[in-house]
Amino acid sequence: MTAPWTEEQVSALAPDASSLSAARKLAGRWRGTGRSDTALWGLCQGSGAKPYQTVVSLAGPAYKCSCPSRKFPCKHALSLLLAWSGGAVAEAPIADFAA
Task: Tell me what percent of the residues of the chain surpass a pLDDT of 90.
Answer: 89
pTM to 2 decimal places: 0.95
Cis peptide before 73 (omega within 30 of 0): yes
| pLDDT tens sequence across 10-26 | 999 999 999 999 999 99
- Considering the chain, what is the average pLDDT of its residues? 95
Q: Would you state the pLDDT for residue 47?
A: 84
| pLDDT tens sequence across 58-74 | 988 899 999 999 999 99
pLDDT(1) > 80: no
pLDDT(84) > 70: yes
**Cα–Cα distance for residue pair 23/71, rounded to 1 Å:** 12
